[in-house]
Structure formats: structure tokens, C-alpha cells
Amino acid sequence: MIDEREFREGTLIINSKSIKLEEKVDFSGKKKEVFCCKYTIGHPRLDITSNDTKMLSIDYHDEDDFYGSEKGLNFSLDLRTLSRQSRDLIALSIRCFSALNYYKNSQIINTLNKDEKDLEDSPLKKSKKEKDTVTQLLMEVDYVKRELYEQISVNKELEEERNMARKQFLDLESEMEQTIEGYRIVLEDQEHSPEDTQFRAEFRNQLKLNETLQKEKNQLAEENM
């Protein structure tokens, strides 16, 4: 676990019900529980950065005491794993368990799959149950709406970055073509000066190098598209 002051080693325990972090407190191997949180709608949030393939950020913020989680539990945790594979497996596990809990606890899904036995409830029970269900439905719909807008915003940013990268690539390609053409013109001019053999050889080598770089750039662009 990493914070602003120090680096501490810990054990992250992930199962279908909760996420728990434990750390050693002394050389005897005794462990202390740092925190334990349940999966709630939209939480925890994961952030995987491309700058460091072993880093994973976990953000948790729950104000509504949703599905039994501790009310007001807030934290942001930066983890450094042993390898990129470990980080990816941790992220995949958390997202799978989060999706599983969402499926089990979703009021939208439960309402669609509601059993006919609910119709046999007394009017008082039915009224209270419907009130609670409507409240949770509104919370869930609001969350889905916010997530949708967030994904639209992310996709828009990615599209802008993609277009910018494509433009930069085309500009670089045009610049390389102009450079190669310039070298060819110089070589053609030097053909009339046989005494400058070494100069012409250097230009030919540079021309080959630029052509090789151009091929590598094209290959890299094809792989990224």
C-alpha cells in the first residue's frame, strides 16, 4: 500500500462478498485488518494507469449505506502488485464480483423477475415494500444514467486522442517523405561529382535509414489502429 509518507506491504483478500486489506504489524507475522468493504452499486471504482503496469487504484465512497455497507466509508488506495498479470487478475476479480453482486441486488432485475407471491402481501406490507423498491429503483437508475454519461465522455476523449494521434502520424509521414525526396535530389546532384564518392555513400546510407524508419512507423501505426 502506498500513501504520501511511506510504503507498506499488505495482503489483499478478495472474495465474492467483500474486499479486505491486511498488513503485518510486527516481525512475528501478526496481521492487522486495514479495511474491509462490500461491493455496492458503482463501487469500488478501479483506475488502471498505462504509465505503470503494476499500479492499481481502488476508490470507494458510499454515502447511502447501500446494501449493508458502512455508511460514510471513503478511501482511495494505490496498490503496487508483483507483476502486471497480478494487477490484471485483481482488477478482473473485483469487476466480476462487483457485477455478480449487482446482478443479485439489482432492484431493476428483481422487479422484472418478481414472483407472483408478492401480490398476496397485505396492503400495508405491500405499500411499504413498494415505497422502498421505488427509492432503490430511482437510485439505481440515477447511477446507470451517470455511468452512461461518464462512458460517453470517456469515449469522446478517446476519439479525440485517436484523431490527434492519426493527424500527428500523417504529419510525420509527410515530413519523412519530404526528407527522403530531399535526399534523393541531393544524391542525383552528387552523381555529377564522381570525386565526392564518400559524400554520396553517406547520403545513400541515410536514405536507407530513413526508408527503414518509415516502414517501422507504418507498421507501428497499423498495429495501433
- Residue-wise pLDDT tens digits, 31-66: 666 667 777 766 777 888 777 888 888 877 655 443
For 53-185, where are the E strands, in sequence order?
Answer: 55-62, 73-80
pLDDT score of 205:
73
Element (H, E) at 128: helix 123-190
CATH number of 10-105: 2.30.29
pTM above 0.85, yes or no: no
Residues (pLDDT < 50) of the chain are: 1-3, 5, 64-69, 116, 119, 122-124
- Among candidate residues 18, 45, 43, the one with its CA nearest the CA of residue 33: 18
How far apart are the C-alpha atoms of 65 and 133, rounded to whole Å?
15
Query: What residue type is assigned to position 221 of the chain?
Result: A
- CA atoms within a 13 Å half-sphere pointing along the CA-CB vector of 148: 6
What nine digits make up the cell of 145? 444514467
CB 38 within 8 A of CB 15: no
Domain boundaries, given as residue ranges, for the chain: 10-105, 121-225
How far apart are the C-alpha atoms of 214 and 101, rounded to whole Å?
50
